[in-house]
Every structure is written in C-alpha cells, then in structure tokens.
Amino acid sequence: MSRQNLRAQPPASRYRVQVLDRTIAVLQCVADSDIDVAAADIARQLRLHKSTVHRLVVVLEHYRLIKRGPQGAYRLGTRLIELGDCAVARLKLSERADPFLRELASQTGEGAHVTILSGTEMLSIAHVEGRWSLHSLTRTGHRTKIHCTAAGKAVLAFMPEEACDDIIARLSLERYTRRTIVKPSGLKAELLRVRHAGYAVDDEEFEEGLRCVGAPIFDHRGHVIASLSMAAPVFRLRKERLPRVARLVMVAAQGLSADLGHQNQTDLKRGKGHRS
C-alpha cells in the first residue's frame, strides 16, 4: 500500500490491531446476549478458533470485564460498571455539582465535595471551600479510601450487591484510627446502616478529630455513580448537629441526582441491585 493511500484512510482503518478487534468483538458478543454465553458459542458466532477465544476470555476475565458464571458461561463483569460510572460522572458531575456544593457550604459553613469510585479508591472531581479552611478536605483530583470515609461508604452501600462484594474483597481495609472498620463483616454491617439511613458518617475513622457526612448520587437509571459529602472538625460538627447536617447533605445529593435525571427516590433507601 502506498504512503498516499495510507494517509487517505480514516484512523480507525489505519491503526486496526487484530487482537484488539477480536477482544472487543468477544466483549460485544457477551454484551449482546441476554443470557450467559459459553466460549464455544462465542467462537461459533465470531467464526474464531476455540483456542483463540479461550485466550481472549482469560484476559477479559482477569481485568473483570467479563465474569465466568457457575455453569462456565460468561457475562459482563463489574469493571464495566466502574468504567461506565466514571465516564458518566466525569462528563456531567463536575460541571453540574458546583451550585449544589456551594449551597451546602453556605448552609453549613463547611467545605463540600463530590467523589466518584475509581478502582478501589474514591476520586474527587469537584469541591468548594467553606467559611473555614480545612486542610483535610479532599481537593479535586485527589484520591481517598473507600472503607473509612463517608464518601466511600455512601457509594459502596448503594451499589449492586455483586459489585459491592467484589470491591470489598479487594480492599486492604487498613486501620487509620481506633475507629476504623477493618473487617469485611463489620463493613457490610455498616453499609446496611447506611442504606437504612440514606447517608454515611465517617466518625473519626480516617483521621482523629474529623467527622464527615456523605450521601449517594444517582443517575437517570437509578445507579449510584458518586457521593456528595462534607467534612468538619468534631468540635464544629458535634453529634447532636449530625441529623440536621445529614438532611442538608441528602437534600444536596438528591438535588444533584434530580439534575442528572434521577426520579426514583426508592433507590436511596433500598440500594438498586441490593437485597432489601
């Protein structure tokens, strides 16, 4: 092929890589099926050798893009939920969260932020300062833990059960203070309380002297995609003040969720995809 003809081709044609094309085709085949699909069926549909498909599904399963079911067939994996939620969150939340964060900061005097799940950590995508500066408040672009923060627990509690269990299994559950939850059973019990209350609290679990409140943010499908939270020193956010602040945080999170097209408020109490 001449260099001139190569330039005339669109980028998608010029840079095609066979293994990537086949991998994406396998993923699409699994996505298009209403039921779990066996490797042999994938090979037949795509007209690929069984050994080729076997190698591809092993790699896809390693990255949690697909998951092997109890009968040996494949379904979409939980990593796709994380990637999709990250994409939606970054496209919409960072530009829509600001007025809700500013209103919450005005009402409470404390800084507030929105965080999304990124692997086994929470990633801050938007924040505003309160009247009082707080060094511990996560800034945009910073990462923090899931198991010992209100932001992390607010997302984890409302995820589909399978995805939630998968993430908990991969968490190191490090201890940061004497209040940090370091056992999976303890974390799951805490998440039940969060789902019942509709909000999460970090009561000096990540840092001594710091108390945080977080609530889930849902998209138009009713899927939790992020959390909205605020943090303050314990002497400003006393326990008797928690219920009022929690209501303000939930109102802000619900307002942002509604702005994203969410309408079904039952998701807040039950957690879409969880056992009730």
Give the CATH number for residue 56.
1.10.10.10
Identify the bridge partners of residue 117 per DSSP, sorted by sequence position: 122
What whole-number distance in Å separates Cα of residue 171 and Cα of residue 47?
39
Region 55-68: what's the mean pLDDT? 93
What whole-number distance in Å separates Cα of residue 200 and Cα of residue 212?
8
Domain residues for the domain of 234 are: 81-270
pLDDT in the model for residue 67: 92
Helices and strands of the chain, counted as H and E runs: 13, 8
- Is 276 inside a domain boundary? no
Averaged pLDDT of the chain: 86
Last residue of a domain, one of 77, 103, 119: 77
Region 210-217: what's the mean pLDDT? 96
255: number of Cβ within 10 Å = 17
Do 261 and 202 reside in the same domain of the chain?
yes
Do 19 and 107 reside in the same domain of the chain?
no
Last residue of a domain, one of 77, 94, 118: 77
Entry pTM = 0.67
pLDDT in the model for residue 219: 87
Last residue of a domain, one of 26, 53, 77: 77
Q: Do the Cβ atoms of 108 and 230 come closer than 8 Å?
A: yes
- pLDDT for 15 beyond 80: no
Do 85 and 189 reside in the same domain of the chain?
yes
Do 14 and 98 reside in the same domain of the chain?
no
3-state secondary structure of 209: coil
Q: In which residue are the tokens 């790699």 written?
A: 59
Find the radius of gyration of the CA atoms of the chain.
Answer: 22
Do 67 and 203 reside in the same domain of the chain?
no
The more confident residue out of 3 and 59 is 59
Residues listed for the chain: 276
What whole-number distance in Å separates Cα of residue 203 and Cα of residue 270?
23
Give the CA distances from residue 21 to residues 18, 56, 69, 96, in Å, rounded to whole numbers and listed in that order.
Answer: 5, 11, 24, 36
Confidence of residue 90 (pLDDT cuts 50, 70, 90): low
- pLDDT for 129 beyond 80: yes
Q: Do the Cβ atoms of 214 and 117 come closer than 8 Å?
A: no
pLDDT in the model for residue 213: 97
pLDDT in the model for residue 107: 94
Q: What is the pLDDT of residues 153-194, one digit of tens each?
A: 999 999 999 889 999 999 999 999 999 999 999 999 999 999
